[in-house]
Each structure stands twice: as C-alpha cells, then as structure tokens.
Amino acid sequence: RKEVEQDPGPFNVPEGATVAFNCTYSNSASQSFFWYRQDCRKEPKLLMSVYSSGNEDGRFTAQLNRASQYISLLIRDSKLSDSATYLCVVNRAAGNKLTFGGGTRVLVKP
C-alpha cells in the first residue's frame, strides 16, 4: 500500500460547480497535512495546511479524518483557474520529511 494515495482523476468540473476529493494516508503517526497545487510543468505551491478541526480558505475547505486516515479538499464555485493537479502531502513521523501523493488532476470547463 502506498503511504499516500490519491485518485489521479481527471475530475472534469463545470465552471461554478463544487468538486471534492480525498486522499488516504497509511502512517497513523503523521501530524502535519497539506494540500499543494501544481500547475503543468511548474513547481508545487502550498494551497493550505489541514488542521484537525478542518479549515476553510475562501472557496477551499480541507478536512482531516484521523480515525479513517484521510484528508479531503472541497472546491466551491470552481473557476477555470482552479484547473491544476492537487497534491496531498503528509509528514512522516520523524522530522519534517514529507510524503507526496501522486496528485489529483482537476479540469474546470466553461
């Protein structure tokens, strides 16, 4: 089993719709969780950290479910500019080494 697993997609989303996707992780000792966004042929950029209580940043909402070991990302009112690959990132038990999922591709269409 991979340490961090994501549905690769693509998720084809009409502009203005809501899309949500999950990521599962295998290390129950993980403490830090992030969503990064990566545009084609560019570097990953931090979208948001994921906190235990769940958190929201504008149209983006992240949730953490420790019991089932997954995190989720929800995008409301999708924009064309939201088209990207979203990387689920989990820290390892020791130190700040991160494990990256393979990414979920989202395509927002007019």
Partner 1 sequence: DGGITQSPKYLFRKEGQNVTLSCEQNLNHDAMYWYRQDPGQGLRLIYYSQIVNDFQKGDIAEGYSVSREKKESFPLTVTSAQKNPTAFYLCASSKSDWNYNEQFFGPGTRLTVL
Binding-site ranges for partner 1 (CB under 8 A): 4, 8, 31-32, 34, 41-46, 49, 87, 91, 95-103
Residue whose CB is less far from partner 1, 71 or 87: 87
To the nearest whole angstrom, how small is the minimum distance from the Cβ of residue 15 to partner 1? 25
Nearer to partner 1, 41 or 110 (CB): 41
Picking from 103, 45, 35, 46, the residue whose alpha carbon sits closest to that of residue 74 is 35
Please, what is the minimum distance in Å from the beta carbon of residue 17 to partner 1?
A: 25
Nearest distance from residue 82's CB to partner 1, in Å? 20
Q: Mark 70-101 as b/e (b = at least 16 C-beta within 10 Å).
A: bbbbebeebeeebbbbbbbbbbeeeeeebbbb
Of 8 and 14, the one with the shorter C-beta distance to partner 1 is 8
30 three-class SS: coil
Query: Please, are residues 85 and 37 in contact by the beta-carbon 8 Å criterion?
Result: yes
Comparison of 48 and 75: residue with beta carbon closer to partner 1 = 48
Q: What angle is formed at CA 97 by the lines to CA 24 and CA 60, rounded to 5 degrees?
A: 50
Q: Residue 99 CB, nearest distance to partner 1 (Å)?
A: 8
